[in-house]
Amino acid sequence: MRGALVLSLTLAVGLLASSAAADDPPVAAAKLPSRQANYAWDHGLLRASLSFRDVMDTSLATKLSSGLPTVIAMRAYVFPEGSDVPVALAVRTCKVTYDLWDEVYRIKITGPGGDSDGAAISTEAAIRKCTEVRDLIVVEKSQLTTGTPYYLGVIVDVNPISPDMLNQMRQWVSRPTGSTNIGPSDQLFGSFVGLFVRNIGTSDRTLKFRTQSVVP
């Protein structure tokens, strides 16, 4: 049964990757640049805190005050060490719009657990709210194999051009189960795996990295 599951997931990845352009090579999540995350177990949930402030360069930071919305979209896939098949996916989007009238940054964050609204009075504070993730729910412990190390393969996009990707992310966090677990029964599974193995090049800037492992 498990062999059939892995085969079906591998085929889904292969089909999506084959549809990518020649300049969109597959990405091996395990070989991405590594950065530290802080993990914590919370009543059967694995939470992670991580930062990707460097996704915002000077040019993008300057654009924040233009009044046009900026979206920072993050996907964090949970991979077992030694496998290319993710077992969970946590997504988080942060939309920042500068209110020219009130001179304040309006911030809307969407992720596991729902939406939250906020504000910031400075550019740096707005960037910090969007790029410093605290206690993000990434996976249920019951979905992990005890003694097996897992890591996060993370992709961060600034202003994704693809409306399909953002729509899929919205659908993912609004699923009735509210879970980050992924499998062949999820209609969106193939699409999300494909988005990881491809460099789709449809954002102002993309940052990819992996975290250190955690063992349940």
pLDDT digits (tens, 9 = 90+) for 95-118: 999 999 999 999 999 988 788 999
Q: What is the mean pLDDT of each run of 10 residues along the chain (216 residues)?
A: 38 34 56 94 94 95 92 93 88 94 95 88 96 94 94 93 76 72 60 52 86 96
- Reported pTM: 0.80
Whether 22 is covered by a domain: the verdict is yes
SS3 210: strand
pLDDT at residue 186 in the model: 58
* Joined tokens for residue 208: 């990819």
Q: State the residue range of the domain holding 110.
A: 2-211
pLDDT of residue 55: 96
- The total number of structural domains that make up the chain: 1
- 81: in domain: yes
| Closest-CA residue to 47 (of 108, 88, 95) | 88
Q: Considering the domain boundaries, does residue 172 fall inside one?
A: yes
Token digits for 42?
Answer: 């919370």
The contacts of residue 155 (CB under 8 Å, 6+ apart) are 74, 75, 195, 196, 206, 207, 208
In a domain, residue 216? The reply is no
